[in-house]
Structures are given as C-alpha cells and as structure tokens.
Amino acid sequence: MKYFLSVLLTATGFLTVEKPEIKIKSSHTLDLLGACQGAAYLHDKVYLYGDREVSMVREYRLEQDSLVYTKKEIRLTVDGKDVINHPTGIASHAGKPTFIGNSIRLNPQGTLWKAVIYQVNWEGLKNTGTLDGNLISTIEDDACVQGTRPEYAQYQGRWYVATADYGGKSNEVRLYDPEMLSKVGKTSEKGVLYKKFSCGPWVQNLHWINDKKILVLIQNQIEGRKWRFTFLDFEKSVQQGREQVIRVVDIDKTDELEGFALTNTADRGIAVTSSRQGNIHFMDIGW
C-alpha cells in the first residue's frame, strides 16, 4: 500500500504533513448487487447500489464489521423497465430534494456521455420499492463534461449538489443549486450552476465530510483500475477554481473502486468496487 502525501505550507511558514490516512481493515463479498456502483450512509443505514439485471439499491444495517440486509430493495424501474440503469450517486439531505445520478458512456473512447439526474421521492422509493409514482423529474446534465455523480456539500453555509466528471481530461466538480435543479429540465438552464472547479481524472464518486469541510474524490489511478482517494479543501477549491488537495492516498488494489462513504463515525468507512468477489471493504480512517 502506498501513501502519496500532499505537503502544505502553514501560516507560520513551517511545512506540515496533513492527514488523513485511510487503509483497508477487512474485505467481504456481497452478492446480488451486480457490479456495485456506490455506497451511501443515510439515517443510520447503508445503501449499496448497483446494476444487476436491473439497477437497484439495497438497504443494510451496520453491525460491527458486518452488513446485515434489511430485506429492503429498491428497483430503479418504471413499469418494470430499467430507468436509472447505471446509478452513479445518491444526493440526499434533510429538507432538500433527493437526486440520483445516471452516467452512461455512449462510445468506447469515452468521449460521448449521456448524463441524467433524477429527482425522486426517497421515502416513497423505500416504501414501494420502485420508481413507479416516485420519479418526480428528469434533468439532463448537459453542463457536465463526462458524466454525473451527485452528492450534497456545504459551501459558506448553503447546501449545494456537487457532481463531477469521469474522464482523462477536462474534469470538473460543479455545484448546482438544489432548489433550481428540482425545477428545470437541463442543468445548463439559468441559475442552476453556482460554481465549478477543475479536478483530476477518473472520478467515480464523491463523498462529503461535513464536520471537516472536506470533499473526497473517489477515483481510479488509471481508467477503470486501481484505488485513489483525494481529500480536498472544499472552500479553497471553490474559491480558486481548481482542486486544492489536502492529501492523496493510493491503495494497491487493482480492481475498480466505485464508491466510498463514512458510516457512524469519522474513522470508519465502506469502500465498494464493481468486482463480483471481495466487493465490500471496511476502511479505517486516521485523522
């Protein structure tokens, strides 16, 4: 396992090595997720989403270093038809609209993408188990460069839907106004995009750590392979228009890292990959 450190200059002029550290504590296999695409920790439950025969979200209860299936599964379908066929992020926050991303590569070169953000009734989804009657609106993310992966993040006291691209160049993190986003058909419409900044390549997902004001880019080191976690000073990144890196942690795993979320404490997280075996990893985070 390798750690790549970003060394920052403090106001006193002394060089300091910044944490955090992140490492794998244990690895497990969960079936019936298809290729797992991400993880979210919401209201004391873990939600893992993937693209099986149809895409779906499964709910788990966290018990020590185990995930216990609660028997709740959401199929991302309408009238049985797969709608969100490649889910790439769940943005959920109390009192705000809930959004699920969908990023589809349209050509082998990865130069053409279809990116869509769906506004959903999250409580309704959990109750009925499908998008039927719970799909509020469909928004084309045409302001993106290469895909969408929504996550709520706070900037200067206001909540925004942050999203990022997946590609080898021209990647951005963008901040959308959630209220405006809930009312439009395209993210290019006036008033939706608030700010954006450039970032590194191969971003699979985002995770916001609110008490530390850190945005984590869950990345691959190369296209579709190897693990990378990039911890950003979010406010400085927004203000300067490019990512301001606190630390990059590369982990020597060769499969495709897809998602990560902290769980019930700041030193404990879950990372997921699209592998069929060993797809769930409990992570220790040192601050």
Q: For residue range 21-37, what is the model confidence (pLDDT) as tens digits?
A: 999 999 999 999 999 99
Spell out the residues 6+ positions from residue 98 whose beta carbon is closer than 8 angstroms to its own.
90, 91, 92, 119, 120, 121, 122
End-to-end CA distance of the chain: 18
Within 198-252, residue ranges assigned H as helices are 234-240
Considering the segment(s) 7-286 as one domain, its CATH architecture is 6 Propeller (2.120)
Q: Compute the distance between CA of residue 187 and CA of residue 150 in angstroms, rounded to an integer.
A: 12
Residue type, 235: E
Residue 1: pLDDT over 60: no
Average pLDDT over residues 159-167: 95
Residues 6+ apart with CB under 8 A from 202: 166, 167, 168, 219, 220, 221, 222, 223, 224, 228
Q: Which has the higher per-residue pLDDT, 249 or 10?
A: 249
The more confident residue out of 89 and 109 is 89
- Kindly calculate the radius of gyration of the chain based on its CA atoms and give it in whole angstroms: 18
pLDDT bracket for residue 239 (50, 70, 90): very high
pTM for the model stands at: 0.92
Which residue type does 55 have? S
114 vs 143, 166, 270, 282, CA distance in Å?
11, 12, 28, 32
pLDDT of residue 112: 74
Mean per-residue pLDDT, 257-283: 96
CB atoms within 10 A of CB 280: 22
